[in-house]
């Protein structure tokens, strides 16, 4: 037996909501409280974190990208019949798939009606909707986004955007027909920056039997503010009773703004991106937003931290702040020690992004 439900628990403002996504499979239930995030992975692993460290962080769901598995076609992982949760040793977590990595999108040639191009470590690969659906039926993730005709050029014309909306809707129909029971299909709302196409895409996707929505289709060279403004146009036309996932809104202030527009889940690589830069978040959340008194983050590569023997945040209860000083992490970064990024990732993920930020909006 398998099932999926999304329960809205509280709607205070016209748009802001608290909810619960409940997945049941083989009498086993997984619950994801929303607002929440899908932590973006690289080849199914979270950058900078070993599996034992991952267990210490309250992450419930991961975003996984097919293009990271496509060095060979079909991917060797599709010969494993135990499903992707077992293959990645993430059986307790909720797994969400898409074809392309929205957080590290590389500009490549156009797709056609028959395929989308994907980037792999061995060059480009074409992925047809039939292949994608077949792989998903083998992987058996909790959710996947239907295939999207992404536009990766600046200022596309209306004709190109219309074609992208049509293709994405056609692929969604194919996906809904052929996906095996128990895997939830989220329809992708596109339309790039053309308002009328964003509305059409949202309305048409909402008319189909999808389990939820992904807000996508405007991927290169846009600021988070521009993205959020375009998402608002789509959100108006989506039913309230299904979850909405947004791509590429990782920074805390835009996550917060997105939550107040009715976005339930953020697919993000923000924690690992900040960690890769040696940045530690130091902003404070207050009732009506993010307090500006303090810097949003500190760059621990900076030599001024050489003799700074304070924790990253005095008041924080996370492992990193409780046990280590800024000077020590600075020293580890300078020495290119892996422990530096492990401590920073534990810090970024556990003390700010997940615990205090997503779960106590």
- Name the site residues for Zn ion (rule: CB under 5 A): 316, 318, 321, 347, 351
In SS3 terms, 123-135 reads as EEEEECHHHHHHH
- As a dihedral over the C-alpha atoms of residue 188, residue 125, residue 108, residue 48, rounded to 10 degrees, the angle is 80
In terms of CB distance, is 180 or 310 closer to Zn ion? 310
Euclidean distance between CA atoms 132 and 134, whole angstroms: 5
In terms of CB distance, is 177 or 315 closer to Zn ion? 315
Question: Cβ of residue 280: shortest distance to Zn ion, in angstroms?
Answer: 8
In terms of CB distance, is 249 or 348 closer to Zn ion? 348
Euclidean distance between CA atoms 349 and 352, whole angstroms: 6
Report the greatest alpha carbon distance in the chain. Answer: 62
In terms of CB distance, is 46 or 238 closer to Zn ion? 46
Question: Cβ of residue 55: shortest distance to Zn ion, in angstroms?
Answer: 18
Question: Cβ of residue 352: shortest distance to Zn ion, in angstroms?
Answer: 7
Cα angle for residues 236, 240, 241 (degrees, 5° grid): 155
Question: Cβ of residue 302: shortest distance to Zn ion, in angstroms?
Answer: 19
Question: Cβ of residue 33: shortest distance to Zn ion, in angstroms?
Answer: 21
In terms of CB distance, is 221 or 295 closer to Zn ion? 295
In terms of CB distance, is 127 or 345 closer to Zn ion? 345
Pairing of strands 123-127, 116-120: antiparallel
Report CA-CA distances (Å) from 299 to 303, 313, 329, 334: 9, 13, 11, 12
Question: Cβ of residue 313: shortest distance to Zn ion, in angstroms?
Answer: 5
Cα-trace Rg, the chain: 20
């Amino acid at each position: 037996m398998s099932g999926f439900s999304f329960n809205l628990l509280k709607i205070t403002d016209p748009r802001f909501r608290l909810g619960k996504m409940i997945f049941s499979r083989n009498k086993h239930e997984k619950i994801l409280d929303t607002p929440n995030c899908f932590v973006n992975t690289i080849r199914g692993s979270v950058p900078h974190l070993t599996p034992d460290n991952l267990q210490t962080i309250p992450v419930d769901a991961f975003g996984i990208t097919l293009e990271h598995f496509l060095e060979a076609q079909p991917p060797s992982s599709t010969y494993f019949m135990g499903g992707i949760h077992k293959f990645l040793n993430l059986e307790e977590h909720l797994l969400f798939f898409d074809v392309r990595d929205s957080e590290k999108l590389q500009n490549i040639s156009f797709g056609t009606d028959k395929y989308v191009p994907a980037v792999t470590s061995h060059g480009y690969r074409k992925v047809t909707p039939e292949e994608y659906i077949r792989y998903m039926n083998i992987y058996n993730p909790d959710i996947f986004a239907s295939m999207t005709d992404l536009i990766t050029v600046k200022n596309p014309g209306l004709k190109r955007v219309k074609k992208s909306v049509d293709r994405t809707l056609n692929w969604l129909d194919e996906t809904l027909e052929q996906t095996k029971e128990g895997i939830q299909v989220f329809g992708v709302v596109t339309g790039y920056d053309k308002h009328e196409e964003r509305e059409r895409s949202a309305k048409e996707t909402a008319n189909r039997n999808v389990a939820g929505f992904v807000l996508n289709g405007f991927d290169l060279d846009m600021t988070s503010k521009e993205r959020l403004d375009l998402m608002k146009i789509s959100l108006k036309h989506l039913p309230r009773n299904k979850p909405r996932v947004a791509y590429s809104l990782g920074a805390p202030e835009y996550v917060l703004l997105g939550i107040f527009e009715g976005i339930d889940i953020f697919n993000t690589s923000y924690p690992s991106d900040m960690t890769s830069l040696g940045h530690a978040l130091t902003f404070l959340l207050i009732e009506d937003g993010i307090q500006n008194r303090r810097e949003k983050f500190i760059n621990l590569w900076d030599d001024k931290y050489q003799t700074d023997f304070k924790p990253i945040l005095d008041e924080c209860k996370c492992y990193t702040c409780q046990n280590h000083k800024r000077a020590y992490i600075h020293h580890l970064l300078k020495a290119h020690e892996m422990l530096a990024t492990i401590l920073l990732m534990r810090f970024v993920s556990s003390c700010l992004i997940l615990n205090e930020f997503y779960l106590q909006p």
